[in-house]
Amino acid sequence: MIDSAADGGDLLITDIGQLVDPGEGAFSAPLEIVTDAFVWIREGRVVAAGPMSDLPGDAAGTQALSAGGRVALPGLVDSHTHAVFGATREHEFEQRLAGASYQEIAEQGGGIGFSVLDLHARSEDDLVHLSRPRLAASARFGVTTVEVKSGYGLATEQELKMLRVVARLATEPELPRLVPTFLGAHAVPVEFAADRAAFVRLVVDEMLPAVAAERLAEFCDVFCDQGAFTRDEAETILRRAAELGFGLKIHADEFVPLGGTQLAVELGAASVDHLVAVDDAGIAALAESDTVATLLPGTSFFLRLDRHAPARALADRGANVALATDFNPGSSMTQNLLLMVAFGCCLLGLTVGEALRAVTRGGALALRRMDRGILMPGAVGDVALFEVPDYRHLAYHYGMSHCVVTIKGGEVIWRRAGGGSRFPT
């Protein structure tokens, strides 16, 4: 599959004020914090990390980068985005501020439908051109892996076009690594409103095999909610996707619990995403599974919902949790994953440690990538350096762009011009 692999740079990062490694522990386990630390990357992979006093002698001679006392984390993982789209939808933002709901806007032909019509009119080159800076912006927040969904095509050729855009951008060294997800069942297109079953057949019989044949996506996702797809429709699509070798994801329980969470757990999905309206049965199902609860607090904030996902209950019951931006032009127009860390704490009730694990190891688990979101030997050499005096400022000093250097596979892919002033508070 695609996931632009590390090409293999060598880099020794020294003088890290605090090295924060979520490690492989349980979701609520404390983070491992090493002060005055190094990370040594060879051929794109971490070979050693720890206190400067343990720096191996044979690391000498590797190209070095002093972190100057800054805080280092594994490159952040944004495990849920719709980052490929054409026009933005600020007019809908204003409609929502004036009182319209996301569903009302969708029913009037706006929402996903607007982005679908817009995308149909654009060339693959145009979409590459528009999406490149949007993904580059993710790297400026310390994000080194981004999952990107299709779903603004809703017709075979259009879905393939979107996924080819992702495949092209995945080869660009300056961008984060990309993980492509097919979301053909994002909305029922207007022309299928009277025959939903025909659209489900199209997804199952034509789109999924075509995407599989070109190896354009690793995961298949379905939007299972009121106004989108039913539990049974989602099951039909996801079962066929599993047969074709796709990993599974589902948008579920954002507005109304339809049983999508339980379905996803039953099918061994990598993640269930949204969960604002998840019920006790859904929480219980997630608590006993490897399926990651991916929470998107930017969306419930931006849509002005009156509640947020029950992160505390999920964490207390032992579920694995990820936080992601859901970056898209309708319901969450931001690439700032650290803002989701602050929201995860202040709106969802997570601890700072849990919220940081949720954007590193949690995101990696939601993408079934065991080699990232941690800094153990063998992990990808992806590191983000932040200009904060203490890692807790990543949540506490919220809404800021604290990242100063982003490293992917041992190569610097972004550096803040001038390096930034030390620890502005």
Contacts of 252 (CB under 8 A, 6+ apart): 224, 225, 234, 258, 260, 261, 263, 264, 272, 273, 274, 275, 278, 282
CB nearer to ligand NIG: pick between 251 and 308? 251
CB nearer to Fe ion: pick between 298 and 381? 298
| Phi-psi sector, 420: left (phi>0), alpha (psi -120 to 50), beta | left
Query: Is-contact 330 106, C-beta < 8 A?
Result: no
Which residue has the closest beta carbon to Fe ion?
326
Q: How far apart are CA 347 and CA 307, in angstroms?
A: 9
> Which residues form the interface with ligand NIG (CB under 6 A)?
82, 111-112, 115, 223, 251, 254, 299, 326, 328-331
List the single partner that 221 binds among Fe ion, ligand NIG, none, CB under 5 to 8 Å by kind: none
Q: How many CB atoms lie within 10 A of CB 384?
A: 29
CB nearer to ligand NIG: pick between 112 and 407? 112
Q: How far is the CB of 330 from ligand NIG (least distance, A)?
A: 3
Reduced 3-state DSSP string for 366-420:
HCCCCCCCCCCCCCECCEEEECCCCCCHHHHCCCCCCEEEEEECCEEEEECHHHC
List the single partner that 299 binds among Fe ion, ligand NIG, none, CB under 5 to 8 Å by kind: ligand NIG
Residue 240, both tokens: 């066929």
List the single partner that 81 binds among Fe ion, ligand NIG, none, CB under 5 to 8 Å by kind: none
Which parts of 298-357 interact with Fe ion (CB under 5 A)?
A: 326
Query: Distance between terminal CA atoms of the chain?
Result: 43
CB nearer to Fe ion: pick between 233 and 326? 326
List the single partner that 330 binds among ligand NIG, Fe ion, none, CB under 5 to 8 Å by kind: ligand NIG
Q: How far is the CB of 156 from ligand NIG (least distance, A)?
A: 20
Alpha-carbon 39 to chain mean position = 24
CB nearer to Fe ion: pick between 326 and 354? 326
CB nearer to Fe ion: pick between 149 and 408? 149
Order across the sheet with 177-185: list the strands.
Answer: 76-78, 143-149, 177-185, 219-224, 247-252, 271-274, 292-295, 321-323
List the single partner that 223 binds among ligand NIG, Fe ion, none, CB under 5 to 8 Å by kind: ligand NIG
Beta-bridged to residue 145, according to DSSP, are 77, 177
Q: How far apart are CA 158 and CA 181, in angstroms?
A: 14
Q: How far is the CB of 303 from ligand NIG (least distance, A)?
A: 8
List the single partner that 294 binds among Fe ion, ligand NIG, none, CB under 5 to 8 Å by kind: none
Q: How far is the CB of 183 from ligand NIG (least distance, A)?
A: 8
Q: How far is the CB of 78 from Fe ion (least distance, A)?
A: 12
Q: Which positions lie near Fe ion, rule CB under 5 A?
A: 326
